[in-house]
Each structure stands twice: as C-alpha cells, then as structure tokens.
Structure 1
C-alpha cells in the first residue's frame, strides 16, 4: 500500500533514509530553488521517477502545505499492539516509552515524534480511540521521525500500562497537581512518561495506573504548556539523567 508524503523536510528524509520506498516524486513545475534541487538530486541518485505537476494538481493531492513536493511512498511497516511488549523487553534497562493520552492534533503528534526520535525513545504509545494516527500531516510535521520511531496504538491504554509495569517499567504521569516536580523523579532505568492532551490532561483510568505523578514547575501565568513542548522537556530530562547515571 502506498501513501503520500509531502513537504521538503519529510520528502528529503525518506529519500535519504529509505529511498527504495519512494515510488514516484511529484515536483511543482517551475520550482527549482536550492532546497528543492537538493531533494531532486537525492531522487536522481536513487533513480526515482520525477514528474512535474502544476501547483493546483499538487494542491489537490494533499491537504496542507506541500512546498512543491509530493512523494508517493510505500507505506512503512506498522507496529501492532502485540509488538509493544516485545519492543519494551528488547530495550531492557534503557527502555524509554512515551505515552500520549488523547492527543488529537496531528501537528502536536508530529512534533512529539520528532522529540521522541531525538531522545532515543523506544516506542510511542497512544490509544486507538480519541487520538490521531499517522496521517499525512503527522508524517510531514515529524520530518522523517515517524519513519523510524515505533508508534503503537492500543485498544485499552490502562491495560497496556499494566502490562508494561509487569515487564518492569515504572510509569510516570505528568499532572499539574502533582507534589513533586519532574526534576525530583528518578527517570533512569525502564520508564514510561505519560502526557495527556493540553487542557484536559490524562484521563482518570490512565492517571490511576501511573506509579508516580510529576509536574513541570510553572513560574508564569499560564497553567500548562503545549503537549509537544512539554514532551520535549520531559524526554530530555530523562536523557540528561541517563547520561549522568
């Protein structure tokens, strides 16, 4: 099955990492600036067929800003719910799981996947319902991270948290009312960091299945951060602690 990936960074990333998956590349006729040319050079090296299309034709292919590039790509291997524990167990003591409870904005998920890739996250987990999946917009915003970071949607998030706990993973949920800050929590060893949607936060059952709750200290007048910003802060605090450990 093929899917469309669009935008300069996303197309460039898949051509650099997995050129064999690119079936055809559509480029906006007349657009030959330096950034597009770099992508075309990658396509030429990979012997990918390049087709010029008028901008209205590209506009009709995808929803969102394509920046003059749309690639028809063989869909990446999808991880299933049954793969979750295998991924966690294989990572051993270095397992770092990002759990996103109720994130519905594709731009937020794409940004979270970029942070997850940079932080070396083992797997990103989200509920199947009331949560965005790997849409074309997510793939574009993720700039290639969605191609390499395992993403698993589960039927019952609370049950999946329990299964990870049984496999030795400690679950830390982010909540504004927590007594301890994230910086007071031990994030070394197998850990799952759980973040809820901006505003509503984690659902009740998700919260009840966390081993610990932690908060980000907020000195200003806003009550919460965008979930993708909070995700980056949390993941790199875990990275910082693991480097020192």
Structure 2
C-alpha cells in the first residue's frame, strides 16, 4: 500500500504543482510572506488545493526538523479526476455516482469506497475542502478500492450536482428528512446518491435541489445508522432494483 509522502520547501512544491502532481493538502506557516510564497499561493488557489495555516512547531514535526521553508505539501496516494474526465470514459446507459457531503472520518470514507467499488459505482465525488483525507488509513480500510474507483474532487458539490443534472442524472439525497423510504424511490436509471456528514447530515442547500429524498427505515430505538452502513444499504438497494 502506498503511503502518503511529503514535499518540503516552496520551490519544490511549486514544481510539483506545475508538473501535475496531486496534492492532498498544503500546510503553510502562519504569517509566511515573500515573493516566492506569493507565487506558490497563486498556484494553490488556481488548482484549488486544500490548505491549512499552522504554527511552525507543526511543520517541524511533519518534516522531522528538515528545512521546510514554512511550507509542507502532502502528496496524494491516489490521483483525482475531474467530472469532465469521468464523463469521457463512462459508457453506460445507467451510470451510478456517489456524492459525499463533508464525510470527515477516514475509516468511514475508506469503508464507503470499498462498498462503492463492490456495488459498481462509477465515481465518487467529494468537495475539495472539509472532507476526510484519502490517507493511508482510508486506503487501508478501502481494501484497495481507492485505487480502483475514480474519485473526483470539486470546489462545490452544488456545482457538481447542477452538472450531473444537466447530464440527465437524477440526484437522490439519503436523509431522514422525508417520508419516502429508499424502497419507494426509482433507482433503476442514471442516479447520483448523496450521503451527508456524520454529524450534520446533508446540507440544506443540497437537499433543496435534490430530485428525490429517501430515508432508511429504522425500527429500533437508535435514531441513525453509521454513515458507511447507511451508504451500503442504499447502494445495495440500487443494485437490487437494477437486477430485478
């Protein structure tokens, strides 16, 4: 299994971005300035790379006290795709997508990737900011699925949803905020399922534009399922409908 590795130094990170290297996150020392840093900062914004401003002690720990020049980048172990790239390769009448709205637990993320690969999901779509990192723990939990299923990072899930809808993909939000169960929603057609975060669920703005909402019936006293379990239930109901 490939571990996530680091790049130290402003110039090295600039060259990595220009070479098309996928970066998971860039850690920047608080208060950093200068011409070369301005060049790097411009590239980070152009490529919508996740960033975090941290104290120098954090950088010293990540670099094991190597000369980091105030910036460290984590190289992604997996290459990410654009939505446009995905649509040039999918050749199916009924594609299936999975959108993850701020899933932050890496093991949940990895488990979802594993189930998605097993159920024939064509691509996973996640926001650039606020999602669990695709790190070694997530990759291990995915049992290798992270290398087999395309993962798209987008600036805003709302824009991705509008793009999918324009391509004829129905958007189905898996949420308890509806009276319809997953068994009453038609999934045997081009579909994108949305799963919400562990704590807040799907954001109201996304719920508002979803084409359909579906809940999982809960017959016990506990009010919700783990998100990776809920995702598995929804995906296998999709499989069931498509095999009927």
Q: Which runs of 5+ in 2 are unaligned?
A: 5-75
1:177-188 equivalence runs, <5 A:
177-188=177-188
**What is the Cα-based RMSD across aligned positions, in Å?**
2.0
Give CA-to-partner distance per residue, 1:176-203, whole Å, 9 cap, x none. Answer: 1211100011100100011101231101
Query: When you count helix as a share of all residues, which structure comes out higher?
Result: 1
Aligned length: 174
1:10 maps to what in 2?
none
1:113-124 equivalence runs, <5 A:
113-124=113-124
2:88 maps to what in 1?
86
1:141 maps to what in 2?
141
1:111 aligned counterpart, secondary structure: helix
Structure 1 residue 195 corresponds to structure 2 residue 202: no
Cα deviation for residue 92 of structure 1 reads 3.3
Q: What TM-score, normalized by structure 2, do the two folds share?
A: 0.67
Structure 1 runs, 4 residues or longer, greater than 4 Å off = none
Moved more, 184-193 or 75-84: 75-84
Cα deviation for residue 174 of structure 1 reads 1.1
Cα deviation for residue 81 of structure 1 reads 4.6
Distance of 1:138 and 1:236 partners within structure 2: 21
1:237 aligned counterpart, secondary structure: helix
1:99 maps to what in 2?
99
Distance of 2:233 and 2:178 partners within structure 1: 17
Q: Which runs of 5+ in 1 are unaligned?
A: 6-73
Give CA-to-partner distance per residue, 1:134-175, whole Å, 9 cap, x none. Answer: 111111110110010111111010111011011010000011
2:204 maps to what in 1?
204
Distance of 2:84 and 2:130 partners within structure 1: 20
CA 75–200 in structure 1, closer or farther in 2 if over 3 Å, else same: closer
C-alpha contact 1:85 1:163 (8 A) present in aligned 2: no
Distance of 1:180 and 1:236 partners within structure 2: 17
1:110 maps to what in 2?
110
Q: What TM-score, normalized by structure 1, do the two folds share?
A: 0.67
Cα deviation for residue 133 of structure 1 reads 2.9
